[in-house]
Amino acid sequence: MSSQTRQTVVCVVGTRPEAIKMAPVIRALRASSWARCRVIFTAQHRDLVAPVFEFFGVQPDVDLDVMRPGQSLADLSNRLLASLHDSLRREDPDFVLAQGDTTTVLAAALASYMLSAPFGHIEAGLRTHRLDSPFPEEANRVAVSHLSTLHFAPTTAARENLLHEGIERASIHITGNTGIDALHLAARRDSPLGAKLDPDKRLILVTVHRRENQGEPLRRICESVRAIHESFEDVEILWPVHPNPAIGPVVAEIVGGLPRVRLVEPLSYGSFVTAMKRSALILSDSGGIQEEATALRKPVLVLRQVSERDEAVRCGVARLVGHDPATIVAETSRLLGDAVDGRPLAQAESPFGDGRAASRIVSIVKKSLNPVRSKAVRA
């Protein structure tokens, strides 16, 4: 197929999780003969995303550079919408793709809608059914679902959520999660961790980044980590600290001086996957880690009150513990005891996919487009 007849598919990426989960899709599009893939980077997470692009061999075509010091969520939203609208109008895409639930994704969906450009939502249908948790992600993904042309649901449960909200059945496709595609690629390598760890101790991996866990919840999580450190002398704790200034100083104050707690800069994606593979237990408020831990058969204590990934809980890998120190320490003790006893963590296959989600998504997008699309007149 000649370059003149290839159709333009724009992939919008803003944050580190989006870069990880979009990378397999971008690679599949760029390997195809029918698509001209363009990547717009909003730079919500500039420093965190650059190593991910490098790891997967993906580079953006457009950098919008939207972040400003101290800007509010409203300021960010306005800047993203205006910048993406202008950029997409110049690209004149046949199709737009974005993944997840950030402000970048909502702005991409809105800009596509305003330009009458078909929009595909990757990882569609995740719900906690509470608009305040996570904030603002739950509201973002609900809104995006009603602006999308195609919905790429990772699981059956995600599809049911969309159907319950009145989304047309024919527009929903169960593809699996592209994060598992990325994980399969990364797990083939062992990347350096950048921290000297004792091979004779069990590793606990900790991450915290969500808005709802800032402030007092973060202090309680840190107190839990301190208590775990005191209770289990055979445990070493690795905590890649998120660069948000609301997180680092609190973590350093409460657990920074503990001899078996390693506070490090955010790990590259490859190094983080290696850390997950080596861990005995993961404590995290990340959604993506729940999926990855399930695929790797690693227990994860979810530092949230609710989760949009109930599949991880149902298959026995994840447990919701919130930020109550007593609950976190008790569940840690139970799971570390299970590991010693050799009890199986989970019997079922991962509900989040088989590592071929990206190829399914690209195939569906291709089928949805006419071989030659005449461009609509846009405002």
- Separation of alpha carbons 290 and 24, rounded Å: 19
Residue 323 domain-assigned (yes or no): yes
When pLDDT is averaged across residues 140-159 and rounded to a whole number, the result is 97
Q: Which residues pair with 292 in a beta bridge?
A: none
The beta-strand segments (E) located in 58-175 are 62-63, 95-99, 119-122, 150-153, 172-174
pLDDT at 4: 55
pLDDT at position 370 is 63
Selected catalytic residue, list 16, 127, 159, 242: 242
Confidence band for 222, pLDDT divided at 50, 70 and 90: very high
Q: Is 137 a catalytic residue?
A: yes
Percent of the chain with pLDDT strictly greater than 70 = 93
Q: Do 123 and 214 have their domain in common? A: no
Q: Active-site residue 123, yes or no?
A: yes
**Is 261 contained in some domain?**
yes
Residue 88 is part of a domain; what is its CATH number? Answer: 3.40.50.2000
Name the catalytic one among 18, 137, 291, 310.
137
pLDDT category of residue 378 using cuts at 50, 70 and 90: very low
Residue by residue, what is the 3-state secondary structure of 180-243?
Answer: HHHHHHHHCCCCCCCCCCCCCCEEEEEECCCHHHCCHHHHHHHHHHHHHHHHCCCEEEEEECCC
Whether residues 121 and 21 fall in one domain = yes
Mean pLDDT of the 341-363 span: 77
Furthest C-alpha separation in the chain: 67
Residue 2 inside a domain? The answer is no
Q: Which residue has the higher pLDDT, 94 or 46?
A: 94
Q: Which domain holds residue 13?
A: 7-176+355-368
Q: Judge whether 45 and 67 are in contact, CB under 8 Å.
A: no
Say yes or no: 311 and 166 in one domain: no
pLDDT-wise least confident of 1-15, 89-103, 185-199, 252-266: 1-15
Of residues 79, 159, 173, 209, which has the active-site annotation?
A: 209
User: Is the same domain home to 155 and 23?
Assistant: yes
Q: Which residue has the higher pLDDT, 161 or 345?
A: 161
Query: Do 332 and 362 fall into the same domain?
Result: no
Residue 182 lies in a domain: no
Do residues 36 and 68 share a domain? Answer: yes
- The radius of gyration of the chain's CA atoms, rounded to the nearest angstrom, is 21
**Active-site residue, from 36, 184, 211, 219:** 211
Q: Say which amino acid occupies 353.
A: G
- In terms of domains, do 29 and 164 share one? yes
Q: Both 170 and 206 in a single domain?
A: no
The residue type at 8: T
Q: Is the pLDDT of residue 377 over 50?
A: no
Backbone angles phi, psi at 320, to 5 degrees: -80, 125
Is 18 one of the annotated active-site residues of the chain?
no
Report the domain count for the chain: 2
Q: Residues 217-244: what's their mean pLDDT? A: 95
Say which amino acid occupies 360.
R
In a domain, 191, yes or no: no
Is 211 annotated as catalytic?
Answer: yes
User: What does the pLDDT read at residue 345?
Assistant: 52
Letter for the amino acid at 126? L
**Token couple for 346:** 């989970």
* Cα separation of the two ends of the chain: 30
Catalytic residue, chosen from 94, 101, 181, 308, is 101
Residue 20 DSSP SS3: helix
- Average pLDDT, stretch 233-262? 94
The answer to whether residue 150 scores a pLDDT higher than 90 is yes
Report, as an integer, the average pLDDT of 324-336: 94
Quote the pLDDT of residue 306. 87
Residues 254 and 138 in one domain: no
In a domain, 303, yes or no: yes
Which one from 123, 291, 308, 331 is the annotated catalytic residue?
123
Domain match, 360 and 327 both: no
Q: Give 281-328 pLDDT, tens digit per residue.
A: 999 998 889 989 888 989 999 999 888 888 888 888 889 999 999 999
Q: What pLDDT sits at residue 337? A: 82
Mean pLDDT of 40-67: 93
